[in-house]
Structure 1
Amino acid sequence: MGRLVPAVTRALDILELFLEGDGTLSAPEITRKTQLPRTTVHELVTTLAARSYLVPVPGQSGRYRLGVRTYQLGSRYAEQLDLAAEGQQVAREVAETCDETVHVAILEDLDVIYIAKVDSVHAVRMVSAAGRRLPAHCTSVGKMLLAALPADELDTRIEEAGELVAMTHDSITDPEALRSALAAVRERGIAVEHRESNPDVSCVAAPVRDGTGRVVAALSISVPMIRWNEEREAELAELAAKGASELSVRLGHRGGVR
């Protein structure tokens, strides 16, 4: 690795300060937070403002916020993101930690489509494939994605779907029971399904958000019932949430929820 350029490092340190708080700072605040000389901060802020990386806050003399140039760079980065590719990489990391099958899925109508998948190393494991489509209400990823929909949109999708098909004896087929289950998912922030899509498998899922805070996918961990218990569920719920959070960060999410 080559030598870091101090002036560039300092300029980036200043820009990253604007990721915290209300996104506005004055030169004295920047000086205090960076511990840089006042003249250095003045020169750097002046340069960043001249290049539209910082702009004065209207009506607040001496305060700055991020400028349009940072938005343009962020937009170009977002354009290059591939949810499936990023999801596959994070799924692989999660699978290496838990040795179970990991999926990333998106919602289409009242179905989920798996866009990334990493298999368990165990001989006994869930059999599935990227690109597979399943009824959302029968899966943990689907429940997570349905729970994120606005109430009116959820009602419309359920009504348009007509009958909720059953994949196993434990599948939810009653719309009111589904709504109740989704309310529990919203409260917990984690979705779980026991033998609802496969009589031998249970799954746990967490939401994946994009840069706007919108839920755009879900990450799940699937486990054969022979390796499933309450303690394991708690462990995997935490791991799924961590993996989904990592994928969200890769998609530009910074903590806001929409």
Structure 2
Amino acid sequence: MGRLVPAVTRAMDILELFLGTDDSLSAPEITRRLGLPRTTVHELVTTLTARNYLGSVPGQPGRYRLGVRTYQLGSAFGERLDLAAEGREVARGVAETCDETVHVAILEDTDVIYIAKVDSTHAVRMVSAAGRRLPAHCTAVGKMLLACLPDAVLEARLGGDRPLAAMTDRSITSPPALRRHLAGIRERGVAVEERESNPDVSCVAAPVRDSAGQVVAAMSVSVPMIRWSDTRQRELTDLAVKGAQDLSARLGYRGGGPA
């Protein structure tokens, strides 16, 4: 492995200061935060500005903000992101940690489509499969995604109070009951499914956000009832949340965004 180039590292440190809450910074502020010599900061800022990685703030001499080149790089990176591929990579790490089955799914109308699945080493019969579509209200990932919809969109998709399809005798079939259930998911930030799509399996799920803060997918951990308990649920909830956060970070999410 080659050595790190100090000048490049320092330039990256300057750019990464803008990953925080500051829209602009002055050279003295950069110097103070990084503990670098003033002349070094001046040279690096001058170079980054000349290459359009930083830009001067109009009307505020001596202050700098991210330049257009960083936007171009970010856009190019975003265009090349593959949610399914990134999801599989993160799901694989979560599955290796807990040795349970991990899913990533997206919402289409009132169904979920599984775009990634990493199986447990244990033999478990699952109704899910990569590419398969299931009723969203019967699954943890689906309920998580439905809970994140704006009220008007959710109401349009539910289509009134007509009974919903059931996959097991524990599936929620009443739209009013589902609305109440989804309200609780919004408050907790995680969804739980107990034998609602498979009589032998329960799941926990957390939301995945993109760079704009929009929920674009959900990640779940599924466990057979023989290994399901309050303690195991808490452990897997933490793993699902951490996995969803890791995938969100890969998609460019930095925190904040829509509630």
Question: Shorter-chain TM-score category?
Answer: over 0.9
The reply to whether residue 228 of structure 1 matches residue 228 of structure 2 is yes
Deviation of 1:123 after TM superposition, in Å, equals 2.6
SS in 1 for 2:19: coil
Deviation of 1:174 after TM superposition, in Å, equals 0.9
* Contact kept? 1:126, 1:223, Cα under 8 Å: no
| Identity value in percent | 75
Q: What corresponds to 1:252 in structure 2?
A: 252
Gaps of 5+ in 1: none
* Alpha-carbon RMSD: 1.4
- Taking a change above 3 Å as real, the CA distance of residues 190 and 67 of structure 1, as seen in their structure-2 partners, is same
The reply to whether residue 130 of structure 1 matches residue 130 of structure 2 is yes
1:146 alignment partner AA: L
1:132 alignment partner AA: R
* Contact kept? 1:207, 1:218, Cα under 8 Å: yes
Q: What corresponds to 1:159 in structure 2?
A: 159
Counterpart Cα distance in 1 of 2:235 and 2:57? 46
The reply to whether residue 241 of structure 1 matches residue 241 of structure 2 is yes
Matches within 5 A, 1:79-228: 79-159=79-159, 162-228=162-228
* Contact kept? 1:101, 1:125, Cα under 8 Å: no
* Contact kept? 2:127, 2:198, Cα under 8 Å: no
Counterpart Cα distance in 2 of 1:124 and 1:108? 26
Counterpart Cα distance in 2 of 1:143 and 1:127? 16
Q: What corresponds to 1:22 in structure 2?
A: 22
2:158 alignment partner AA: I
Counterpart Cα distance in 2 of 1:160 and 1:78? 37
Counterpart Cα distance in 1 of 2:105 and 2:192? 15
1:18 alignment partner AA: F
User: Greater CA deviation, 187-196 or 159-168?
Assistant: 159-168
* Contact kept? 1:15, 1:66, Cα under 8 Å: yes
Counterpart Cα distance in 2 of 1:22 and 1:77? 23
Counterpart Cα distance in 2 of 1:104 and 1:151? 24
Counterpart Cα distance in 2 of 1:13 and 1:102? 35
Counterpart Cα distance in 2 of 1:89 and 1:179? 33
CA displacement, residues 94-134 of structure 1 (integer Å, 9 cap, x when unaligned): 11111111100000000000000011111345353101100
Deviation of 1:58 after TM superposition, in Å, equals 2.5
Gaps of 5+ in 2: none
Deviation of 1:44 after TM superposition, in Å, equals 1.0
2:10 alignment partner AA: R
TM-score by length of 2: 0.96
* Contact kept? 2:91, 2:103, Cα under 8 Å: yes
Alignment length, in residue pairs?
A: 258
SS in 2 for 1:149: coil
* Contact kept? 2:164, 2:174, Cα under 8 Å: yes
Counterpart Cα distance in 2 of 1:161 and 1:136? 16
Counterpart Cα distance in 2 of 1:122 and 1:141? 21
TM-score by length of 1: 0.96
Counterpart Cα distance in 2 of 1:160 and 1:67? 49
Deviation of 1:61 after TM superposition, in Å, equals 2.7
CA displacement, residues 117-158 of structure 1 (integer Å, 9 cap, x when unaligned): 011111345353101100000000001000111110111111
Counterpart Cα distance in 2 of 1:3 and 1:37? 22
CA displacement, residues 159-183 of structure 1 (integer Å, 9 cap, x when unaligned): 1895410111111111111111111
2:130 alignment partner AA: A
